[in-house]
């Protein structure tokens, strides 16, 4: 319908664009005798926030496969603060950090993105925290929720990492933490393992930083999240959301 001018921006509309981008990159790589480097990161792999096959899930080599998005943000801020590549590059890097994260697959009004990734998959700070503690330490969801609440219940408590701007120094209450953890559990355990089972090669740069089936993480692609959701809900004293 969108090809005929109808403003129907559904998942098919989005995936056609993601597929076209990747297909073009692979053909260009063939022409130039080059490699397609992946643009995805550990956070997107964990949440399944990528288009499978002929899309951003695939590349010849995924350089950021082991780097969560929050780490990438800190690295960009660190480089910009030290002017390692000059003032112009630092200004561009700061502009990237100030731009809301979006796949930009749906047209918006003006310069503002029509899609806001963290409004769908949750705040990356929380989701990276959950991903690390579940895959690295095997903690129960209720334990991770408690640790997240201790970390984010008061934005004024403790020390924030260098480079985190004031507008991102936020607090989350337990309801918000539980809400986004349910999103994580469903996406990670129930709906996106098939994308990781076929992920391209990439480096491992940190402890708990690999979701490759050839590395630290092996799981069935037809898994379910019910037991994880039930454990979280039981600890919170609410009716199970696993159904």
Residue 159 lies in a domain: yes
Q: What is the CATH number of the domain that holds 173?
A: 1.10.10.1140
List the domain range (segments joined by +) for residue 163: 2-236
pLDDT of residue 5: 76
pLDDT of residue 113: 67
DSSP-assigned states of every residue in the chain: -GGGT-----HHHHHHHHHHHHHHHHHHHHHHT--PBP---HHHHHHT-S--SSSTT--SB-TTTT--HHHHHHHHHHHHHTTTT-HHHHHHHHHHHHSPP----S--STTS-S--HHHHH--HHHHHHHHHHHHHH---HHHHHHHHHHHHS-TTSS-PPTT--GGG-----HHHHHHHHHHHHIIIIIISHHHHHTPPP----STT----TTTT----TT---HHHHHHHHHHHT------
Number of domains in the chain: 1
Residue 242 lies in a domain: no
Residue 71 lies in a domain: yes
pLDDT of residue 241: 57
Residue 57 lies in a domain: yes
Residue 117 lies in a domain: yes
Residue 243 lies in a domain: no
Per-residue pLDDT tens listing for the chain (243 residues)? 677 777 788 888 888 889 999 999 999 999 999 999 999 999 999 999 999 988 999 999 999 999 999 999 999 999 999 999 999 999 999 999 998 898 888 777 766 667 889 999 999 999 999 999 999 999 999 999 999 999 999 999 989 888 788 888 999 999 999 999 999 999 999 999 999 999 999 999 888 778 999 988 999 999 999 999 999 999 999 876 555
Residue 241 lies in a domain: no
pTM passes above 0.95: no
């Amino acid at each position: 319908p969108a090809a005929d001018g109808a403003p129907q921006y559904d998942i098919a509309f989005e995936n056609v664009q993601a597929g076209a981008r990747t297909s073009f990159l692979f053909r260009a790589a063939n022409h130039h005798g080059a490699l397609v480097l992946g643009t995805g990161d550990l956070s997107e792999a964990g949440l399944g926030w990528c288009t499978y096959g002929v899309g951003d899930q695939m590349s010849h080599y995924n350089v950021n496969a082991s780097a969560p998005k929050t780490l990438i943000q800190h690295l960009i801020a660190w480089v910009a603060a030290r002017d390692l590549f000059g003032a112009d590059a630092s200004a561009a890097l700061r502009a990237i950090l100030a731009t809301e994260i979006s796949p930009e697959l749906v047209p918006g009004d003006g310069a503002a993105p029509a899609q806001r990734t963290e409004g769908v998959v949750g705040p990356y700070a929380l989701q990276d925290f959950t991903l690390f503690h579940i895959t690295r330490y095997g903690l129960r969801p209720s334990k991770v929720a408690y640790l997240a609440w201790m970390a984010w219940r008061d934005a004024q408590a403790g020390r924030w990492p260098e480079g985190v701007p004031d507008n991102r120094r936020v607090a989350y209450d337990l309801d918000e933490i539980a809400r986004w953890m349910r999103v994580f559990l469903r996406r990670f355990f129930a709906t996106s393992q098939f994308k990781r089972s076929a992920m391209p090669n990439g480096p491992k740069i940190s402890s708990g930083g690999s979701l490759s089936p050839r590395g630290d993480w092996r799981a069935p692609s037809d898994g379910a999240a019910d037991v994880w959701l039930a454990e979280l809900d039981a600890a919170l004293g609410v009716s199970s959301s696993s159904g």
